[in-house]
Amino acid sequence: MTPKEILAYCKEKDVKAIDFRFMDFPGLWQHTTIPVTQLDEDTFEDGLGFDGSSIRGWQAINESDMLIMPQPETAFLDPFTELPTLNIICNIQDPITREDYSRDPRNVARKAVNYLNSSGVADTAYFGPEAEFFIFDDVRYDQTPAGGYFHLDSIEAEWNRGRDERPNLGYKIRHKEGYFPCPPMDQTMDIRNEMMQTMIDCGLDVECQHHEVGTAGQAEIDLRFQEMVTMADQLMTYKYIVKNVAFKRGKTATFMPKPIYSDNGSGMHVHLSLWKAGEPLFAGDGYAGLSEIAIHAIGGILKHAPAILAFTNPTTNSYKRLVPGYEAPVNLAYSQRNRSAACRIPMYSQSPKAKRIEFRCPDPSCNPYLAFSALLMAAIDGIQNKTDPGEALDKDIYDLPPEEAANVPKTPGSLEAALDALEADNEFLQRGDVFTGDVIDTWLSYKRENEVDAIRLRPHPYEFCMYYDI
């Protein structure tokens, strides 16, 4: 929609409020709201002022004034507010120079797409993330200088088989057996349907929904692939809908990668394909039906994967999921159909238009604008430098002899290691001024100070189980 069409739409739908959404640096949506009477066409040109020093990872207090610039094509009616409200996603600008803000994650993604176009490699990058999440009935957690704990609960959880529920009707999902069971074993069918339908009502193109492998309400809802910036916008709308539908039903949803010990974590496998002049570039007559360009894109992704993970797996909890010997793909190899490799080539369809790469390491705690941009920049680098990913690994990697498995590179074992990899390998991200040096330095310092150190300095509850009697 254009600004004029937005104003007409507000009258048609009797909209009373306009909610402006934008992404902070770590990856949470922020918002501010105005009465619809304060919205006019000039708003889209002039923007609205706000305090950038109060947003995580952004401005110093002496440079705090910033502008929200609403993007009319992103508008959708909020399905949860009592007052009819139109949500609009925004870019961020400096009020003096009127330049797009370098630390605005959406700006980084827009620059990555512009760099793809200027490179001549392709003119469109399609992304399709498969975000997983948990729906819990109850969550409690706390951390003080003298104690810390968390407690999760779900009607589906295996650990509640013996609980007095007056009555307990059974049908508890065993660990790692949550993939595709029908109701009544699947007790979150209705809530996932409501999430799915709400997404459709908000303009998202949903492909399917299902229960995921984990006990205790693990779920997945898949969106049809979209152009990269649009998909990042839609993924934020997706997370907003999931959390609010759960909240409305008296439940709670989390995209935390590994909330439950001994069961599957929540990943976000990301499908990527490049197109030019309306034609797919990844289909060919090479391995798994891939083109040479696609093979080189895989080479770039695998080469830079340790650095990429600082954005695609950006929490300390991410590395509780990325653990050798479990389902999460820690092996920096590629394969058709093999889900134990970091890069998989899906073989469901042989259509050239369906040919794509699936990068299986990411998780849904990421900031999608930054994660998708890092992945795209690595693929471009691989194509430009004709990076050879080596031979495909079609064996069951978990059953490889130890001497052979030792030769397969692995993902970093911690957020700290991923940040070190990013610090050592970021030149490919800075091309075209996509990720500025300031963005990378700020990401490194923010993550180290606020997350790595925060965990490292605190006793863990399980340490008392292991060490209290020493």
21 is annotated as an active-site residue: no
Tokens of 263: 């069961």
- Point out the catalytic residue in the list 103, 110, 269, 344: 269
- Point out the catalytic residue in the list 104, 156, 186, 220: 220
158 is annotated as an active-site residue: no
- Point out the catalytic residue in the list 56, 98, 161, 339: 339
279 is annotated as an active-site residue: no
- Point out the catalytic residue in the list 78, 130, 233, 381: 130
What count of other Cβ atoms lies within 10 Å of the Cβ of residue 261? 7
CA max distance for the chain: 71
Q: Which of 453, 449, 446 is nearest to 103 (CA)?
A: 446
151 is annotated as an active-site residue: no
What count of other Cβ atoms lies within 10 Å of the Cβ of residue 49? 12
The Cα-based distances of 393 to 256, 305, 322, 379, 407 in angstroms read 30, 17, 19, 19, 12
Q: Is the dihedral of CA 339, 284, 368, 376 positive or negative?
A: positive
- Point out the catalytic residue in the list 132, 158, 263, 381: 132
327 is annotated as an active-site residue: no
449 is annotated as an active-site residue: no
- Point out the catalytic residue in the list 104, 158, 233, 358: 358
Strands 65-70 and 85-93: antiparallel
Beta strands (DSSP E) in 4-123 are: 17-23, 29-35, 48-51, 65-70, 76-77, 85-93
103 is annotated as an active-site residue: no
130 is annotated as an active-site residue: yes
Give how far the C-alpha of residue 226 lies from the chain's centroid of Cα atoms, to the nearest Å.
14
207 is annotated as an active-site residue: no
- Residue 156 to residue 369: CA distance in whole angstroms: 34
- Point out the catalytic residue in the list 296, 304, 321, 360: 360
Asked if 430 and 108 count as a contact pair (C-beta separation under 8 A), the reply is no
- Point out the catalytic residue in the list 5, 40, 51, 438: 51
- Point out the catalytic residue in the list 78, 158, 212, 381: 212
DSSP output for 20-54:
EEEE-SSS-EEEEEEEGGG--HHHHHH-EEEEGGG
Asked if 129 and 368 count as a contact pair (C-beta separation under 8 A), the reply is yes
Beta strands (DSSP E) in 240-399 are: 252-254, 268-276, 279-280, 331-336, 341-345, 357-359
- Residue 171 to residue 299: CA distance in whole angstroms: 45
Tokens of 420: 């070190």
Please, what's the b/e burial string for 131-164 (b: 16 or more CB within 10 A of its CB; e: otherwise)?
A: bbbbbbbebeeeeeeeeeeeebbbbbbbebeeee
Active site residues: 51, 130, 132, 212, 220, 269, 339, 358, 360
